[in-house]
Amino acid sequence: QVQLVGLDEESSEFICRNTFDHPYPTTKLMWIPDTKGVYPDLLATSGDYLRVWRVGETETRLECLLNNNKNSDFCAPLTSFDWNEVDPYLLGENGTEDT
């Protein structure tokens, strides 16, 4: 599971805002870079695949699953990725290629 926490400004304590199931342990999580607040709340996670989630007030749902491993039932974990800050519609990942 992934648990999203936030700071409750009134009590100055961290509280759980949202929890969602993630089928494989995450290796990295990143929010979409959005300094102007124009994009939806998107969270990318890596693990067995790269996933993009839409985070809402009450639920988080999978928007996109990116699987580049078409030749095998098994894959190496993805350990790193990054949002493109100039064009947040682009994500780059650093995975391994099956040989």
3-state secondary structure of 95: coil
Residue 91 lies in a domain: no
Tell me which residue range forms the domain holding 42.
Answer: 2-68
The pLDDT of residue 99 is 39
Residue 93 lies in a domain: no
Identity of the residue numbered 95: G
Distances (CA, A) of 21 to 3, 4, 11, 84: 9, 12, 28, 26
Q: Which string of b and e fits 18-55 if b means at least 16 CB within 10 Å?
A: bebebeeeeebbeebeeeeeeeebbbbbbbbbbbebeb
pLDDT in tens, 29-78: 999 999 888 999 999 999 888 999 999 988 999 999 988 666 666 677 78
The pLDDT of residue 3 is 94
Number of domains making up the chain: 1
Residue 10 lies in a domain: yes
